[in-house]
Amino acid sequence: MSKLRINFLGKELKNPVITSSGCFGFGEEYNNYFDVDKLGAVNLKGITLKKRDGNKGIRIAETPSGMINSIGLENPGVEYFRDKIIGNLKYETPIILNINGESEEEYIAVAEIANEIERIDFIELNISCPNVKNGGMAFGINCKTAENLTKSVKKVLTKKPLIVKLSPNVTDITEIAKSVENAGADSVSLVNTFLAMKIDIKTKKPLLGNIFGGLSGGCIMPIAVRMVYQVFNAVKIPIIGMGGIENYNDALEFMMAGASLVSIGSGIFSNPILPIEVINGIENYIKENKIKDINELIGIAHK
Ligand SMILES: Cc1cc2nc3c(=O)[nH]c(=O)nc-3n(C[C@H](O)[C@H](O)[C@H](O)COP(=O)(O)O)c2cc1C
């Protein structure tokens, strides 16, 4: 049996490497680059109740070692996804569905539909999107709203484990992590993007149509690793670590800080086969260092 296998919330994954929501479409787009079934799991683009066209104007800006995006949750809506997309996906690896809403009612409605889709293995509650006017991050930067929403969604999710995706745009991420754990979250994923902006010096105005966007990529990684390290000390539930992973060394840092799974986002845009390189890199590291089981690495930096 492969030494990379990992049990995550009762499900056996081939390895701890997954893709991040919004950076991997619905998975099919990458079939030409590699076999998607080699991934531990895939996390799909954030879904809302109704179709969304996303934000107007410029939605992406490059930064040193990263990017700012303000896509604004463009997606076809959960019913279209259920009826026209999920049944046609050709891969078999486990799926995480990232759910979103502008109100508690919308989150619950999406969760109810997602709960009945057999092909979905895990639900990720996104309370950290910085690119929508209502809902999103507003729920995730306050312990009480984060806790209440988690409780309400957990109640309707009778068939799937619940991961809550945390925002780094807070004073103390451990407080939010503890609140959602108390509310019944089975896992936390961190981090989403950092609220950021860029000014166009030619027009002397904000570049992005939405003015603000979320910063991701290599430039955020040391902050994300610090947050995973802190949250590992604060909660008992497993952590999905992400933020700026660009090679297998980065992924190992997240695992040593306390992540059970590592998720690859923006790095895929410049290197579409990055997830496979990370899987192979971790496998070689384990062999070279005579590590018997990948689980030994999780949180090892705390020992
Ligand atoms: C273009 C883009 C779209 C994203 N869309 C979503 C989304 O729909 N839901 C979500 O929870 N996170 C979304 N994210 C955040 C990523 O999943 C991830 O948390 C973040 O980018 C940090 O990881 P990275 O530095 O490896 O990209 C998006 C990020 C980018 C760059």
Q: How far is CA 160 from CA 18, 203, 295, in A?
A: 18, 48, 23
**Angle at which helices 221-234 and 248-257 cross, to 10°:** 30
Nearest CA to ligand 1 atom 26: 265
d(CA 262, CA 190): 10
| Best of 17, 19, 21, 191 for a ligand 1 pocket test (most atoms within 8 Å of beta carbon) | 21
170 annotated to bind ligand: no
45 annotated to bind ligand: yes
d(CA 51, CA 216): 25
- Residue ranges of domains in the chain: 6-55+73-193+218-302
| Best of 29, 63, 216 for a ligand 1 pocket test (most atoms within 8 Å of beta carbon) | 216
Q: Is 219 a catalytic residue?
A: no
144 annotated to bind ligand: no
Give the pairing of strands 212-216 and 205-206: unpaired
Q: Is 244 a pocket residue for ligand 1 (Cβ < 6 Å)?
A: yes
Give the model's pLDDT for residue 46.
97
Write out the chain's pLDDT in tens, 303 residues: 588 999 999 999 999 999 999 999 999 889 899 999 999 999 999 999 999 999 999 999 999 999 999 999 999 999 999 999 999 999 999 999 999 999 999 999 999 999 999 999 999 999 988 888 788 888 999 999 999 999 999 999 999 999 999 999 999 999 999 999 999 999 999 999 999 999 999 999 999 999 999 999 999 999 999 999 999 999 999 999 999 999 999 999 999 999 999 999 999 999 999 999 999 999 999 999 999 999 999 999 998
Could you confirm whether domain 6-55+73-193+218-302 is CATH 3.20.20.70?
A: yes
169 annotated to bind ligand: no
Q: Which residues contact 234 (CB under 8 A, 6 or more apart)?
A: 174, 177, 178
Give the model's pLDDT for residue 133.
79
Give the model's pLDDT for residue 238.
98
Give the model's pLDDT for residue 1.
52
What's the DSSP call for residue 183? T
Q: Ligand 1 center to residue 129 CA distance, Å? A: 8
Cβ(82)–Cβ(113) below 8 Å? yes
Cβ(126)–Cβ(165) below 8 Å? yes
Ligand 1: atom nearest CA of 60 is: 1
Q: Print the SS3 string covering 22-65.
A: CCCCCCHHHCCCCCHHHCCEEECCCECCCCECCCCCCCEEEECC
- Which of 144, 186, 189 has the alpha carbon at shortest distance from 46? 189
